[in-house]
């Protein structure tokens, strides 16, 4: 059989390699619209490539996908993150699992992953055509016809796997919608919060270990490290929140308010009790010199100033009113968000080919026989931490069975 893979990214290469290993006699060609392949792999994780996540539970792994959790939970029983790690290590890419469970090549260089995938494609004799965008797709007498853009050339294949990735605009999915697939409108996911009107930006560079962030007017919360930047807030906690709230925040046109619990303690009474204990044990110490909950000093002084609490005020002089001020700002600090920052090269979208249009046990289209999907072209996206690549490896592995 003749098999086409449309898209030269992570899912495209992984599906092509696995198809060839499953069916050595099949002819396989990868079509890539640009003049380079594996672009996202190269820049992922700051150029180190966060291959997957080291989470040991399939159920927990699946919960890291705001879109696609239920479908992926079943798919992970076929090929999961542990299988991904075995796959790469068995092909000469030693891996390391960080404390945060992010998995990287031991080399700390994405080139190790790229070289592995490219070498496998070359070794297996898989074809690769660059600058070959697909203009349209149709079928005739059991064959799939691909029309190559700017070429007016029609090529026939027995089966096709589409791995074109996400698109920030709906028109990027028009060609798939034309042949009957339902498209979920794409909106940005995994972005940072811009806060042009907030003075906290002056604390850029500070990292808070595990605050809790929530969006006003929505039942959305997240925790994890938070980074204060010169434009606002970033870090895993913010990126996670942007992922789960992708559609809601898009509807709000990225103008909304957040509340930050700097202590990371969900129980307000526990915070009050801790503050009272500090005041009782250190009545003569200046508030500025004894920061609670291991807060960074610059942040603690900023919060005191925000609540108009003098730095030379003694803990014993705070009283109930002062204690309430502190507990309030520590557990329910408010900030206005006015826009987002998306890293264009690493954009992740919420949206794409609806999972209702795909048989997830095979990744085959329900409306176009012998057509398969894998990767971010689907309405699947995960939080930061290697989850998006894992979805690509899993769906590509299943699609490569050509069931």
pLDDT (average), residues 202-222: 96
Q: pLDDT tens-digit profile of 96-137?
A: 999 999 999 999 999 999 999 999 999 999 999 999 999 899
Q: How confident is the model at residue 242 (pLDDT cuts 50, 70, 90)?
A: very high
Domains of the chain: 2-187+344-399 (3.50.50.60), 192-341 (no CATH)
**Per-residue model confidence (pLDDT) at position 345:** 57
| H or E segment and range at residue 349 | strand 348-353
pLDDT, mean over the chain:
95
Characterize the bridge pairing of strands 192-194 and 358-359: unpaired
Q: What does the alpha-carbon distance between residue 78 and residue 394 come to, in Å, rounded to a whole number?
A: 8
Predicted structure pTM score? 0.91
Nearest to 184 by CA among 381, 346, 378, 344: 378
pLDDT (average), residues 347-355: 90
The residue that leads in pLDDT, 264 or 347, is 264
CB 223 within 8 A of CB 260: no
CB 19 within 8 A of CB 30: no
Q: pLDDT tens-digit profile of 129-158?
A: 999 999 899 999 889 999 988 776 789 999
Q: pLDDT tens-digit profile of 59-75?
A: 999 999 999 999 999 99
**Per-residue model confidence (pLDDT) at position 149:** 82
pLDDT (average), residues 163-175: 91
Q: Is the pLDDT of residue 344 over 70?
A: no
Tokens of 109: 């260089």
List 261's β-bridge partners, or say none: 212
Evaluate the CA torsion angle 304, 307, 309, 315 in order and state its sign.
negative
**Per-residue model confidence (pLDDT) at position 349:** 85
pLDDT (average), residues 315-323: 92
pLDDT (average), residues 266-294: 94
Q: How confident is the model at residue 169 (pLDDT cuts 50, 70, 90)?
A: confident
Q: What does the alpha-carbon distance between residue 323 and residue 272 come to, in Å, rounded to a whole number?
A: 7
Percentage of residues in the chain with pLDDT exceeding 90? 92
Tokens of 143: 């064959």
CA distances from 223 to 15, 230, 254 (A): 34, 21, 20
| H or E segment and range at residue 288 | none
Q: pLDDT tens-digit profile of 23-40?
A: 999 999 999 999 999 999
Provide CB contacts within 8 A for 71, sequence distance 6+: 355, 360, 380
**Per-residue model confidence (pLDDT) at position 256:** 98
Q: pLDDT tens-digit profile of 374-387?
A: 999 999 999 999 99
Tokens of 175: 């060609």
């Amino acid at each position: 059989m003749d098999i086409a893979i449309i898209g030269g990214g992570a899912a495209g290469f992984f599906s092509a390699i696995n198809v060839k290993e499953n069916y050595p006699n099949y002819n396989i060609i990868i079509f890539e619209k640009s003049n380079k392949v594996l672009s996202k792999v190269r820049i992922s994780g700051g150029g180190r490539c966060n291959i997957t996540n080291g989470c040991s539970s399939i159920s927990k792994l699946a919960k890291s996908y705001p879109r696609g959790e239920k479908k992926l939970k079943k798919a992970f029983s076929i090929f999961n993150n542990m299988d991904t790690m075995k796959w790469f290590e068995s092909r000469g890419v030693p891996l390391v699992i960080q404390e945060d469970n992010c998995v990287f090549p031991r080399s700390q260089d994405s080139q190790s992953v790229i070289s592995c995938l490219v070498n496998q494609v070359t070794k297996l004799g898989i074809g690769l055509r660059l600058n070959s965008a697909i203009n349209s797709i149709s079928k005739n007498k059991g064959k799939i016809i691909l029309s190559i853009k700017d070429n007016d050339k029609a090529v026939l294949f027995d089966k096709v796997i589409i791995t074109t990735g996400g698109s920030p605009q709906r028109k990027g999915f028009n060609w798939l919608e034309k042949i009957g697939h339902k498209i979920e409108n794409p909106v940005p996911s995994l972005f940072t919060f811009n806060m042009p009107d907030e003075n906290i930006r002056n604390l850029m560079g500070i990292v808070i270990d595990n605050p809790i962030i929530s969006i006003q007017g929505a039942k959305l919360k997240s925790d994890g490290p938070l980074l204060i930047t010169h434009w606002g807030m970033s870090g895993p906690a913010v990126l996670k929140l942007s992922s789960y709230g992708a559609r809601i925040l898009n509807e709000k046109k990225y103008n909304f308010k957040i509340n930050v619990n700097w202590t990371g303690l969900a129980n307000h009474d526990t915070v009050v009790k801790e503050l009272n204990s500090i005041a009782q044990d250190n009545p003569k110490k200046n508030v500025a010199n004894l920061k609670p909950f291991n807060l960074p000093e610059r942040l603690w002084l900023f919060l005191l100033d925000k609540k108009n609490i003098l730095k030379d005020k003694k803990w014993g002089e705070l009283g109930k009113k002062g204690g309430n001020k502190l507990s309030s700002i520590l557990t329910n600090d408010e900030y206005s968000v006015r826009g987002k920052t998306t890293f264009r090269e690493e954009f992740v979208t919420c949206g794409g080919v609806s999972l209702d249009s795909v048989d997830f046990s095979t990744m085959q289209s329900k409306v176009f026989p012998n057509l398969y999907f894998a990767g971010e072209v689907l309405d699947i996206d995960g939080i930061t931490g290697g989850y998006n690549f894992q979805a690509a490896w899993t769906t590509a592995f299943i699609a490569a069975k050509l069931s």
